Amino acid sequence: LALTGSAQKRLGNETAAEKTKRMEWWTDARFGMFIHWGLYALPARHEWVRNYEHITNENYQKYFDQFNPDLFNPKQWAKEAKAAGMKYAVLTTKHHEGFTLFDSKYTDYKATNTQAKRDLVREFVDAFRAEGIKVGFYYSLIDWHHPDFTIDNVHPLRPAKDSEEAYAALNKGRDMAKYRKYLYNQVTELLTKYGKIDILWADFSYPGKYGKGKDDWGSVELLKQIRKLQPGIIVDNRLDLNDYEDGTDFETPEQVGPKELEKYRGKVWETCQTFSGSWGYHRDENTWKSNRKLLDLLITSVANGGNLLLNVGPTARGEFDYRAETALDSLGIWMHANSKSIYHCTFAPSDFKAAEGTRLTYNKDTKRLYVHLFEYPNTGNIALEGYKDKVKYAQFLHDNSELQVDAEKSKGNSLVLKLPKKKPNFEIPVIELILN
């Protein structure tokens, strides 16, 4: 059988089974915390502010000068992530603005040279590890501060308005080969100075005539180096290596709705989501997702075999916004009682159809099926068509209270369970079915 074209391109020798094994902790974990933190927390109006408002290096300098996160306490962050039920965390070690939270020997544009006077990545790593949370590094491929990074004529998030000549003039003297080396060196620093790193989240490629992709980043060499330095690491798919069969590890659908997540069933993926619209701290943004919506995204991710990476944008003083804390608390209360339907779970076997108003997750090892009641029936029962001879025992997940079968109503293949008229005190209660 002749493989054609790109499908046969490989970077290493890992088999599909070995990859599954390497990623097992991550696919089991299902829920992680994204942290977008950088100088953009000071203007507090989106992490793209430098680009959106065309701020020059000179005018952006005030944020570097004023950066003083006096309340930064990653132990507290880690406690809050853990209480919410999150198993891993990914921090922006450098975002597009180019400022590094770590002490890099390749730049002066780093936290060590601000009033913080220290390596904030180191403290993050130590604190999260101490809580048993896996650590990941986000590293921006894009860099608006580096003198060799060429300014793009067309960018997916901001199409060009100027002429090609104007851009050519702007880019005179910039050398992507030098930037490529810088990025390689910094990733090497990140993967050698901080012990075992569980995830690398490189961001992002926009290949095309005016864009940037694997040749600009040197992605092939970079990924080889990443794998060599950290053999166990899990890498996102934004290095533009999709034509390699064993390239990167997971897909990253961003800010998509629950309905769209169905398309990813069967793939290895993680959806990243903000509380509001911005990833960095945004003071005046008031369109926050409801707690129910966040819970929906978590459950629906697992119901389609994926992970949720939920973002927090800490303030310039280094604390989580009170609105984020309230949302995390609410998720934590649900997770405390219901996390068995999340960890180590995936989509249900195809012979179980989700009843109207429900979403299913499944643990194949314990052979338990979880029915999430998105719409709580006020009829005093629920009919599960086709489940009749497949279920040994039924209970609520949050308290292990039995849910009796309504034998009279259970006709044909229909399994009808009696439910309390009053909805239990959870936004989305879960029925646990122990299968035969």
**Residues of this chain that bind ligand JFZ (CB under 6 A):** 47-48, 156, 203-204, 254, 272, 279
Q: How far is the CB of 236 from ligand JFZ (least distance, A)?
A: 10
Compute the distance between CA of residue 362 and CA of residue 345 in angstroms, rounded to an integer: 5
The number of angstroms, rounded, from the C-alpha of 99 to the middle of its chain's C-alpha atoms is 21
Q: How far is the CB of 183 from ligand JFZ (least distance, A)?
A: 16
Q: How far is the CB of 209 from ligand JFZ (least distance, A)?
A: 16
Closest among 318, 321, 297 to 67, alpha carbons compared: 318
Nearer of residues 203 and 249 to ligand JFZ, judged by Cβ = 203
Nearer of residues 147 and 156 to ligand JFZ, judged by Cβ = 156
Q: Which residues contact 22 (CB under 8 A, 6 or more apart)?
A: 14, 232, 234
Is 214 in a helix, a strand, or coil?
helix
Nearer of residues 47 and 249 to ligand JFZ, judged by Cβ = 47
Is 114 in a helix, a strand, or coil?
coil
**Per-position DSSP letters for 134-187, written without gaps between them:** EEEEEEES--SS-TTSPPPSSBTTB---S-HHHHHHHTTT--HHHHHHHHHHHH
Nearer of residues 140 and 341 to ligand JFZ, judged by Cβ = 140
* Cα atoms in the 13 Å half-sphere on the side-chain side of 368: 19
Q: How far is the CB of 254 from ligand JFZ (least distance, A)?
A: 6
Nearer of residues 171 and 252 to ligand JFZ, judged by Cβ = 252
Nearer of residues 34 and 396 to ligand JFZ, judged by Cβ = 34
Q: How far is the CB of 129 from ligand JFZ (least distance, A)?
A: 23
Q: Which residues contact 158 (CB under 8 A, 6 or more apart)?
A: 51, 52
Q: How far is the CB of 268 from ligand JFZ (least distance, A)?
A: 18
Closest among 32, 217, 282, 209 to 134, alpha carbons compared: 32
